[in-house]
């Protein structure tokens, strides 16, 4: 078990923008960073990182948190895994404490599968470099491919012995369970004796973007015609081949830095390019390119250069993946190698400088590439040429950006010597057809919906509350502005929710800030007359809010907000300084998610780039005292309005009774509302 000292060191050292920058292409936006969401398919960035607050927020999915939370969400790490990953990244020595049997038993299934996979990768590598069989067969093969010892170690290359159950027996002897060896596909179950899937093969571990071993590719070295040349791990809870790119772990930083990704087909293509000094390269591992794989690249760069083998049949088969890349709004260039060459062989035969020069000089726009490949087949056949042009326009129709489509139409018209008008007309027909098909599909998938009338909550109940009560949560599309809601919704609930959320926001952002607040109190003069006096007094923001709510005996009606409120106040009272990282580290997951949502609400300003449009929103930090005072008075105004509404309802319920006392209370509370109006500098009326 990891010691608390190690955990504290990790949180103090880890920089959220550095951690996330390993997985997402971040661009500076004021004091923050923004990028495309790694959790959804989007083309406009809604993913925000705040270095100052040490947190991130994905506005497209609602997810958010600190560095550890990102790793848990993105890479499916457990909490200890995330801590270990960050400790390794920042060279922090991990202190271990003894783990109880109960803690060992709580290791989940996915974690067990990861551990088995990582054990297997180390086992295969050890066999490769330390066993006679591994050195004679596996290591010899890699050396023949030109791989250096450093490259073999970098990509964790290995060898699985020819023995039927070498890995299985070793893993069981080390305490790993057979069920996890089988669920990862490392072992094939059989009643009499389980056996190794990859026996007698050189091994290529397939890693996630964060470096976890997800599965393996194994290449057979004998001429056994019954056995597949390459064999991959089967689909499992941790390995989905359509969502993985070989080499992405080693390539991610270079892809983001170079703002380009080279896409190849095989493992050795990636390894050979990396050894030649070109690291921004990944492979689809022999499978057809999928949208999920493209989106994985899209998080790091919008530019892909597809590298094809030199044979014509391979080129025609491969260019079908280009349309998928275009659909994701990415920029595509294509480069093919001389006939008989592939990226692996070409990189082996050429120096780094020659390889870079070849890629730069021979990378073509996809329109030019398609024309150069297919025009040879069309030659002087007008029917084939028409089919080629239609094929090119179909590719252009996949591009979401209208300006880009227009530019490509012009280029296509120039290359194919055909009028732009004809191409534009054909393009419009294709787009209209796609829209019609999408609309038809959407209608088929739509289900009838029911309309439920909102039931207004009982007036005047302002404290405590049931978690199932609608007052204890906002609608799904709540934007953080209490004035947002449509009239048909229960405005009473929404406004109270907004005020209470505002209290939490202020405590989180400015709780430790010292400000001068106006205090109002009664004072008798020399003649004994009592009058209201105000003066400025210095408070920390959290002290002012706490004293104000205590004075009015106000408890937040939203259960989650009240719990967070108590938690924050206790933290401020126990700590001289407020560290957001330290505070979030000790929060329960439910609290942490809501706290992150609140903290990152302001970052929408950065997402929308208002300042770039010459719109300059006023930052709350510039008016902290006013912000705090207005929030407190607004909350009190709302609660007093509720009391007035209850009193008026009681007058209507029994008009025959003597209601003079109730009327007097209504007048007194109405005067209090007028006082709030004066304090707030605007007219306020009972809302309920």
Q: Which domains does the chain have, with CATH numbers?
A: 4-103 (3.90.580.10), 109-239 (3.90.980.10), 248-439 (3.40.1360.10), 470-630 (no CATH)
User: What pLDDT was estimated at residue 217?
Assistant: 95
681 pLDDT above the threshold of 80? no
User: What pLDDT was estimated at residue 653?
Assistant: 67
Report the pLDDT averaged over residues 360-375: 81
b (16+ CB within 10 A) / e for 162-201: eeebbbbebbeeeebeeebbbbbbbbbeeeeebbbbbbbb
User: What pLDDT was estimated at residue 357?
Assistant: 95
**Could you write out the DSSP letters of every residue in 272-312?**
HHHHTT---EEE-TTSPP-HHHHHHHHTT-SEEEEEE-SSH
Residue count (the chain): 688
599 pLDDT above the threshold of 70? yes
Report the pLDDT averaged over residues 617-643: 72
Question: Can you tell me the distance from the alpha carbon of 534 to that of 517, in angstroms, rounded to the nearest whole number?
Answer: 10
DSSP code at position 620: G
41 pLDDT above the threshold of 60? yes
Report the pLDDT averaged over residues 2-19: 87
Average pLDDT, the chain: 79
377 vs 30 pLDDT, higher one: 30
Question: Can you tell me the distance from the alpha carbon of 674 to that of 669, in angstroms, rounded to the nearest whole number?
Answer: 9
User: What pLDDT was estimated at residue 139?
Assistant: 96
pLDDT in tens, 115-133: 999 999 999 999 999 999 9
Question: Can you tell me the distance from the alpha carbon of 177 to that of 166, in angstroms, rounded to the nearest whole number?
Answer: 15
Question: Can you tell me the distance from the alpha carbon of 583 to that of 51, in angstroms, rounded to the nearest whole number?
Answer: 15
Question: Can you tell me the distance from the alpha carbon of 405 to that of 178, in angstroms, rounded to the nearest whole number?
Answer: 54
User: What pLDDT was estimated at residue 119?
Assistant: 96
User: What pLDDT was estimated at residue 482?
Assistant: 37
User: What pLDDT was estimated at residue 486?
Assistant: 36
593 vs 151 pLDDT, higher one: 151
536 vs 241 pLDDT, higher one: 241
- Residues 253 and 205 sit within 8 Å (Cβ to Cβ): no
- Residues 57 and 35 sit within 8 Å (Cβ to Cβ): no
pLDDT in tens, 520-547: 655 556 666 656 667 788 888 888 888 8
Question: Can you tell me the distance from the alpha carbon of 47 to that of 60, in angstroms, rounded to the nearest whole number?
Answer: 7
User: What pLDDT was estimated at residue 358?
Assistant: 95
State which H helix or E strand residue 9 sits in. Answer: helix 4-13
User: What pLDDT was estimated at residue 59?
Assistant: 85
Q: How sure is the predictor about 80, in pLDDT bands with cuts at 50, 70 and 90? A: confident
SS3 label, residue 92: coil
Report the pLDDT averaged over residues 248-256: 90
User: What pLDDT was estimated at residue 618?
Assistant: 47
376 pLDDT above the threshold of 80? no
Tell me the three-class secondary structure of 359-382, residue by residue. Answer: HHHHCEEHHHHHHHHHHHHHCCCH
615 vs 639 pLDDT, higher one: 639
453 pLDDT above the threshold of 60? no
How many other CB atoms sit within 10 Å of the CB of residue 681?
9
User: What pLDDT was estimated at residue 4?
Assistant: 81
Report the pLDDT averaged over residues 235-243: 91
């Amino acid at each position: 078990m990891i010691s608390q000292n190690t955990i504290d060191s990790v949180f103090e050292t880890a920089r959220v923008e550095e951690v996330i920058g390993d997985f997402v292409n971040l661009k500076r936006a004021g004091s923050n960073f923004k990028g495309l969401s790694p959790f959804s398919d989007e083309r406009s960035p809604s993913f925000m990182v705040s270095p100052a607050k040490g947190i991130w927020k994905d506005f497209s999915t609602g997810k958010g948190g600190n560095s550890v939370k990102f790793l848990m969400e993105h890479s499916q790490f457990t909490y200890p895994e995330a801590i270990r990953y960050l400790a390794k990244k920042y060279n922090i020595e991990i202190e271990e404490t003894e783990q109880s049997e109960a803690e060992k038993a709580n290791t989940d299934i996915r974690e067990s599968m990861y551990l088995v996979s990582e054990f297997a990768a180390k086992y295969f590598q050890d066999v490769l470099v330390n066993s006679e069989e591994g050195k004679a067969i596996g290591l010899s093969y890699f050396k023949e491919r030109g791989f250096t010892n450093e490259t073999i170690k970098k990509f964790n290359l290995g060898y699985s012995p020819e023995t039927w159950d070498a890995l299985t027996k070793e893993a069981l002897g080390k305490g790993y369970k057979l069920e996890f060896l089988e669920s990862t596909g490392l072992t094939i179950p059989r009643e009499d004796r389980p056996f190794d899937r990859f026996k007698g093969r050189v091994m290529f571990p397939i890693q996630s973007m964060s470096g976890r071993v997800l599965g393996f590719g194994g290449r057979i070295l004998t001429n056994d015609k019954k056995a597949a040349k390459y064999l991959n791990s089967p689909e499992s809870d941790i390995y989905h081949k359509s969502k993985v790119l070989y080499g992405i772990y080693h390539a991610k930083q270079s892809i983001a830095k170079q703002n380009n990704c080279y896409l190849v087909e095989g493992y050795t293509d990636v390894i050979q390019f990396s050894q030649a000094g070109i690291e921004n390269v990944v492979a689809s591992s022999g499978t057809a390119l999928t949208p999920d794989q493209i989106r994985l690249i899209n998080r790091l760069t919008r530019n892909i250069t597809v590298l094809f083998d030199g044979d014509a049949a391979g080129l025609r088969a491969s260019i079908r993946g280009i349309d998928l890349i275009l659909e994701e709004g990415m920029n595509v260039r294509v480069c093919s190698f001389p006939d008989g060459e592939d990226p692996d062989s070409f990189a082996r035969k050429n120096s780094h400088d020659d390889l870079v020069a070849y890629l730069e000089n021979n990378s073509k726009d996809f329109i030019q590439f398609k024309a150069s490949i297919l025009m040879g087949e069309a030659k002087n056949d007008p029917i084939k040429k028409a089919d080629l042009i239609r094929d090119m326009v179909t590719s252009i129709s996949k591009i979401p950006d209208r300006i880009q489509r227009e530019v490509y139409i012009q280029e296509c018209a120039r290359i194919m010597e055909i009028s732009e008008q004809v191409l534009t007309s054909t393009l419009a027909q294709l787009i209209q057809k796609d829209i019609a098909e999408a609309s038809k599909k959407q209608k088929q998938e739509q289900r009838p919906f029911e309309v439920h009338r909102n039931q207004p909550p009982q007036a005047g109940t302002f404290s405590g509350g049931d978690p199932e009560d609608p007052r204890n949560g906002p609608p799904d599309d709540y934007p953080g502005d209490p004035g947002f809601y449509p009239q048909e919704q229960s405005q009473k609930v929404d406004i109270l929710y907004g005020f209470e959320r505002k209290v939490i926001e202020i405590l989180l952002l400015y709780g430790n800030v010292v400000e001068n607040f106006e205090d109002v109190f009664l004072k008798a003069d020399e003649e004994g007359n009592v009058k209201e006096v105000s003066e400025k007094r210095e408070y920390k923001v959290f002290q002012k809010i706490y004293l104000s709510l205590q004075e009015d005996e106000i408890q937040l009606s939203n259960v989650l907000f009240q719990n967070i409120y108590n938690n924050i106040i206790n933290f401020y009272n126990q700590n001289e300084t407020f560290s957001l990282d330290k505070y979030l580290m000790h929060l329960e997951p439910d609290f942490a998610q809501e706290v992150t949502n609140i903290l990152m609400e302001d970052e929408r300003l950065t997402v929308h780039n208002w300042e770039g449009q010459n719109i300059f929103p006023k930052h709350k930090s510039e008016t902290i005292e006013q912000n705090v005072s207005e929030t407190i008075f607004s909350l009190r105004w709302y609660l007093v309005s509720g009391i007035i509404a209850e009193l008026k309802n009681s007058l209507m319920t029994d008009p025959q009774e003597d209601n003079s006392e109730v009327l007097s209370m209504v007048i007194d509370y109405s005067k209090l509302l007028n006082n709030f109006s004066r304090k707030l500098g605007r007219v306020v009326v009972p809302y309920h």
